[in-house]
Amino acid sequence: MNLLDLAGKSLLAIGAFCALVGALGLIRLPDVYCRLHASTVAVAGGAGLCLIGIALYCFGSPYSLKAVLVVLFLFCTSPVGAHAISRAAHYAGTKPWLKEPNRDLLREVGN
């Protein structure tokens, strides 16, 4: 096993862990804004690291170039999509979840 194989398998394992944490965050987090953060972690960390791991593991094949191009596409579109969803939620009047009411923050949010 060479160094590229080891790095590729390591990145696949780290990416799978990030995808798992992001999926758990989508289930456990309370509001749309927190869930957007979890979904961005799952896409950027999970899918991104897995695809970079595949690119290293299959270094020299056409799959490595395709994986890098997909990673670049994901890193460009994931934040834009999260921003569009959070902006739509803000315009719809969705308030952020507050564990304990912080009066200063409530004044800033508009309550």
| Residue 2: predicted pLDDT | 87
Q: Is the pLDDT of residue 103 over 70?
A: no
The number of distinct structural domains making up the chain is 1
Range of the domain at 20: 3-109
Question: How far apart, in whole angstroms, are the C-alpha atoms of residue 45 and residue 31?
Answer: 21
Q: Are 41 and 18 in contact (CB under 8 A)?
A: yes
Angle between helices 48-57 and 3-28 (to 10 degrees): 160
Instruction: Tell me the C-alpha distance between 68 and 109, whole Å.
Output: 40
pTM: 0.77
Render pLDDT for 27-58 as a digit per residue (tens, 0 to 9). Answer: 998 888 889 988 888 888 899 999 999 999 88
DSSP H stretches of helix in 1-111: 3-28, 32-40, 48-57, 62-91, 103-109
What torsion, rounded to 10 degrees, do the Cα atoms 11, 6, 59, 80 define?
Answer: 10
Confidence of residue 99 (pLDDT cuts 50, 70, 90): confident
Specify the CATH number for the domain of residue 29: 1.10.287
Average pLDDT score, the chain? 86
